[in-house]
Amino acid sequence: MVAAEPVRRSLFGNDLAVRTASGIVLVAIAAVALWLGGVAFWLLLMAGALTMQHEWATLVGRLDRRRLSMLALMASLSMLSPFADGPGFLSFGFIIGGAFFIATIDRSFRLAWGVFYCALPVMALLYLRQQDNGLMLAFWTMATVWATDVGAYFAGRGIGGPKIAPSISPSKTWAGLAGGMIAAFGFALFMRTQFDLPYVLVLASAPLAIIAQIGDFLESWMKRQAGVKDSGTLIPGHGGILDRVDGLVPVAPVVALLVAANAFWALG
């Protein structure tokens, strides 16, 4: 009984309370913008992406070019608006062009890669939202990452065990990864029974949890290189925006590709 007390405190202590409160606020904001769709969803995603680019420039040590990179990103994101091209090939070309412009000016791909890294998930989420069942698809995409994080957090804290890559992220365990995969798959089954989520996405849910964890490790590696604990201080208990969406960044484009491929296959 005494031995279990430290585990209970670590699972349900102040850290979890702060993370939970911040998470609820973030989910509420995202849910309202997602439900409204259109301009509201685009504006929220653009604000998030610009903040991500601000943090990215800090992590790669290019503060002198930070504003320029944010302007290049803003120009790319403007093409994704409902008043412009939306998520299409022309917008994707603008994203590539914005990244190439920064690479040419900065003579480095580190800052330019941030433009692509921050813009691509925005394009993917907007593409998902504009589908016939877009509200469900976009929500499931974001919620899958949330479910992965929650499952990994509790499994990692409650079970512990061997670390995956302690030199990059000391807190990530194999048990946590398994917990995240189970949570993502369980949520996908729920969405299938209640909202008819396509089978291909149900089957992809566990691999997507792995992809989300890879995104987490990538950002952890960047923070190690920069010598910082968090990408920012905007979100209590979570750090910066990059800390909060590191799993969503790779997951959203993969889901968009799966949805596009599934639609193409159905048409064929």
Residue extents of the structural domains in the chain: 1-36+132-268, 50-130
Mean pLDDT over all residues of the chain?
88
For the record, the structure tokens of 88 come out as 């299409």
Q: What percent of the chain has pLDDT over 70?
A: 91
Q: What is the mean pLDDT of residues 45-56?
A: 95
pLDDT at 141: 97
Q: What is the mean pLDDT of residues 104-118?
A: 91
CB 173 within 8 A of CB 161: yes
User: Bigger pLDDT: 231 or 129?
Assistant: 129
- Band the pLDDT of 236: cuts 50, 70, 90: low
Alpha-carbon distance of 91 to 116, in angstroms, equals: 12
pLDDT at 266: 65
Is residue 3 predicted with pLDDT exceeding 90?
no
Pick the range with the lowest mean pLDDT from 68-82, 189-203, 237-251.
237-251
pLDDT at 9: 39
Is residue 109 predicted with pLDDT exceeding 90?
no
Q: What is the mean pLDDT of residues 17-33?
A: 82
Taking the CA of residue 40 as centre, how many other CA atoms within 13 Å lie in the half-sphere pointing to its CB? 9
Alpha-carbon distance of 249 to 246, in angstroms, equals: 6
Q: How far is CA 36 from each of CA 30, 129, 134, rounded to the nearest angstrom? A: 10, 10, 12
Instruction: Read off the pLDDT of residues 59-89 as tens digits, 9 standing for 90 and up.
Output: 998 888 999 999 999 999 999 999 988 898 9
pLDDT at 5: 39
Q: What is the mean pLDDT of residues 197-216?
A: 95
- Band the pLDDT of 41: cuts 50, 70, 90: very high
Alpha-carbon distance of 142 to 134, in angstroms, equals: 12
pLDDT at 244: 87
- Band the pLDDT of 1: cuts 50, 70, 90: very low
